[in-house]
Amino acid sequence: MRLTGKKIIALVDEEFEDLELWYPVYRVREEGAEVHLAGAEKGKKYIGKYGVPAEAELSFEEIDSSRYDGILVPGGWAPDKLRRYGKVLQIVREMNDAKKPIGQICHAGWVLVSAGILKGVTVTSTPGIRDDMENAGAVWKDEPVVVDGHIISARRPPDLPEYGKAYVDALAAAK
Is 166 in contact with 147 (CB distance < 8 Å)?
yes
Q: Catalytic site residues? A: 107
What is the distance between the alpha carbons of residues 140 and 97, in angstroms, rounded to a whole number? Answer: 21
What is the distance between the alpha carbons of residues 31 and 164, in angstroms, rounded to a whole number? Answer: 11
The strand pairing partners of 11, in sequence order, are 38
Residues 6+ apart with CB under 8 A from 20: 74, 75, 76, 105, 106, 108, 157, 160
Buried/exposed code over 74-86 (b: 16+ C-beta within 10 A; e: otherwise): bbbbbbebbbebe
Backbone phi and psi for residue 154, each to the nearest 5 degrees, phi listed first: -145, 160
